[in-house]
Structure 1
Amino acid sequence: MNHRIRVAATVVAFGALLASMTACSSASDDSAPLKFVLSGDATQGGGYQKMADKYFEETGTKVEIVDVPGDDLTTRLRNSAQADDLPNIAAAANVDPLWKDQLLDLTSISKDANVLPTLTVEDPADKKVKALPSSLTSVGMFINKDLWDKAGVSYPTDESQTWTWDEFVAKAKQVQAGAGAQYGLTMDASAHRLRSFLYEFGSQGVVQDGDDFSIDDEGKTALEYFKSMNDDGFMPKSVWTAGDDASATFKSGQVAAYYSGVWQIADFQANITDFAWASVPTPQQPVKATNYGAASWIVGFSGRGKDEATTKFISWLYQPENYTAYCEIAGCLPSVSGLNVSYPKNADAFALYNAEIAASPDVSAVQTTDQLRQGYEGKSLEVEPLKDETIKYLSGEQTIDQTIDAITKATKAALG
């Protein structure tokens, strides 16, 4: 430490100590609520808030829902860990190496709840399950039904019907011409969505090959296809290259289709009132695939003075009656088996997502579980090379071969 700031640092450290003591005192206070930090609850029907209200009615134990912006969630939890002020519960994107050693054992809850085997991940160090999938998330396709109907262009409506990406693009261009749509397709600027796209071309994505990482020829073809859709005006290039909001672009009513996922359904139900929308099968070229996994991971933190109360709430949340109610309120797919979820609206859309998950190859399920294992092992991708290097490719900063080389090298640097 620089000697010139030693005194100031001592003051800061003393202040942090006092804050830590205060936090610990608050955490162990029996009257203090359980703090549950998450992101996006308000946009999915307030499912966790309603479950917290129900829990208070049944038990008298208050659960405080702290809903923070998605981009801030990881940083908030890290800062809390450094300040010894972690919440009792979180719905985290991943297990963070900074706080992985402070997790409660949720193995028995996972077994009792019948969490799907593909989403049951043990910590390699002690074989305990310490993170439960909040719900099942999956990539899928939406269309602006009014535009397609206006243009008189047909489209598949259920899992028994299929189309290739070539067929989809040709039809969506007909919608552009026939209904005056500005764009044929928009896609979230997300590696999660891009991996699904690669899988549909028969790729295995970014895979470890000995000490190195690689992308197969099918992945290269998919990336070249993706660039062609961005280059010819079929997609709004600004979504990926300038950070424009793909969801807002679709909601404008000027886009024929939107490649996103099941989490959008609740938002669309509440906020799209100017046109009719529908979920349709994702195109395949030639593989029927999606990218599915945990929407987030429910974790409980130990050492907050409320270990037993925290475990009791998480166990209660995953009881069949309560977890079913949560899925129905939030409009999400269950991450446990044996539930009969009755969706009040758009039940056909949820059925389509379940069918596409069932038809997908094994690779479609590995992204979120691989990341969780890496978190347990103290590894994490601070950035997403697949997304970041593809943006450079779309912007003309590098060739396809340079892009693949950069993706694999950056992934190796982080995880190798």
Structure 2
Amino acid sequence: MINLRGFLLTLCSVLFLSFITACSSETSVETNGANNSEEADGGILKILLSEEPSSEDALNNSFKKWAEETGNKVDTIVIPYDDQITKFPLMLKNDDVPDLVSTTRLTRLYPEEFLDLTDVVDIGIFDQAALEIIGQDYDSDSNLALPNQYTITSYFYNADAFEEVGIEVPTIDDPWTMDELISNAQKLKDSGDVNYGLAVDFSRGRYDNLMYSNGGSITQETEDSFVVSINSEENVQTLENFVEWNETDLMPKVIWTGGSTDNPADYFKNGDVGIYLSGSWEYSPMYEEITAFDWGVMPSPIGSLQQSAIAGGGGLGIPSSAENPELAKEFLEWFYKEDNYVEFLAQDKGISFINGVTYEPEDEKVIADYEILQAEMKNVTDRFLVDEKSAWRNYLDSEYRDVIKRAVSGELTAKEALDVFANDLSEKSDWEIAN
């Protein structure tokens, strides 16, 4: 049993020495290179990624540099996040798995299919909070995924639109309430300076911030197990509010009804949205791409109970049936060497997951934004940590987002949607529904 408060304090304290993560994109490339004739006939490292990367992607650039230095080649396969649930088992069945997987959940869903990496590198170099949150395994000593990204959810704002409307930006010491955020988002929309006051990623991980801030949770811990609490009164009210924001066009409803594949990040980058709930992984792309207006990061609002932020990230795992596991281990050993990691971190502008290694920005804007993002770590709630500990996503995952979508689209009421998910999760997990 983990000590949730102690775990949370560990999570917060280490980040006073690190910086925000950004670039979550990944890539599909093949890189050839050799620095000397002895390594000219290197192997081919097959890597599974979930997204095409930009040219600035720090992890992809690390793959390239490793290939150039060692004479190996990199062959990447891109399978979108949602498709990996069905396609990775087929890879296993066909004995055609990659050598290295960049993932946020495959090691959790298929732990028996991945190598324990505890002895591949010195596990002691990693921040323990990052290792546990990214590995998503609180009950064993195995390390099936080693960090390659450490993130925190965050609110971005259009500074030019705020100034035009006369809205004062909230501060760490004086954050908005959720009611104030919605009121100001409405002012932004009504002004005509933006088309929408608020946008939220099509992700339960962003939506859940609203739930936790209002005192809700997906599960609750009992003496020896968990109960399902997703359909509590607090959660129903949160979803009713979320549906209303979409119905009144405060938000681009098409994002949460599934009527479009539009990326809400693009809405913000194009100046169409005043406030955007996403995560620190978007910081670097925004820093590189937004030139038409000033923007910044603001503290999370206080719901009916508290502020909420969600920590997460991605890891690198080696399938146990990989053709070239030793080559994958060689990359990991290379990647976590201090010189290589420092170069990666400087490109990624990310939260460091290695103890004693930090990225220190020179840009005053980035320094100011980082202070806010770093402060968000104290807003990771006990309720989130209990939900993580329950591993409820081993039973259901995208189904949760789907019932929220059905509520936003009007197919179900908020209560009906959450009752559906509560019953399904209870049946799958054999947990009772909380009274």
Tell me the equivalent position of 1:165: 178
Tell me whether 1:107 sits opposite 2:118 in the alignment: yes
Deviations 1:68-102 (A, max 9, x none): 44444444433321210111101123135885323
Tell me the equivalent position of 2:329: 311
Note closer, same or farther for the CA distance 1:303–1:125 as it changes in structure 2 (3 Å cut). farther
TM-score normalized with structure 1 length: 0.81
Q: CA deviation at 1:128?
A: 1.6
Note closer, same or farther for the CA distance 1:79–1:214 as it changes in structure 2 (3 Å cut). same
Q: Is the 8 A contact 1:104 1:130 kept in 2?
A: yes
Tell me the equivalent position of 1:119: 131
RMSD, aligned α-carbons: 2.9
Q: CA deviation at 1:104?
A: 1.7
Tell me the equivalent position of 1:258: 276
Q: Quick one: which of 299, 305, 309 aligns to 1:290?
A: 309
Tell me the equivalent position of 1:410: 424
Note closer, same or farther for the CA distance 1:275–1:64 as it changes in structure 2 (3 Å cut). same
**Secondary structure of residue in 1 paired with 2:46:** strand
**Secondary structure of residue in 1 paired with 2:250:** coil
Output aligned runs, 1:92-103, within 5 Å.
Answer: 92-95=103-106, 99-103=110-114
Tell me the equivalent position of 1:361: 381
- Paired with 2:85 and 2:160, the residues of 1 have a C-alpha distance of 39
Deviations 1:198-231 (A, max 9, x none): 1111223344665751233332222222222222
Tell me the equivalent position of 1:6: none
Tell me whether 1:184 sits opposite 2:203 in the alignment: no
Aligned residue identity for 2:250: F
Q: Is the 8 A contact 1:113 1:320 kept in 2?
A: no
Aligned residue identity for 1:213: V
Long gaps (5+) in structure 2: 1-40, 431-435
Q: Is the 8 A contact 1:292 1:365 kept in 2?
A: no
Q: Is the 8 A contact 1:48 1:65 kept in 2?
A: no
Q: Quick one: which of 133, 139, 144 aligns to 1:130?
A: 144
Q: CA deviation at 1:344?
A: 5.9
Tell me the equivalent position of 1:241: 257
TM-score normalized with structure 2 length: 0.78
Deviations 1:97-150 (A, max 9, x none): 885323222113362322323632486896321112321122111111111111
- Paired with 1:402 and 1:200, the residues of 2 have a C-alpha distance of 22
Long gaps (5+) in structure 1: 1-29
**Secondary structure of residue in 2 paired with 1:42:** coil
Q: Is the 8 A contact 1:132 1:299 kept in 2?
A: yes
Identity of aligned residues (%): 26
Q: Is the 8 A contact 1:88 1:306 kept in 2?
A: yes
Output aligned runs, 1:56-67, within 5 Å.
Answer: 56-67=67-78
Deviations 1:370-397 (A, max 9, x none): 54xx78xxx4435332x21122222222
Q: Quick one: which of 140, 143, 155 aligns to 1:141?
A: 155
Tell me the equivalent position of 1:383: 398
Count of residues paired in the alignment: 379
**Secondary structure of residue in 1 paired with 2:308:** coil
Q: Is the 8 A contact 1:139 1:290 kept in 2?
A: yes
**Secondary structure of residue in 2 paired with 1:353:** helix
**Secondary structure of residue in 2 paired with 1:135:** strand
Deviations 1:159-192 (A, max 9, x none): 2331111111122222223354222101112111
Q: CA deviation at 1:339?
A: 2.0
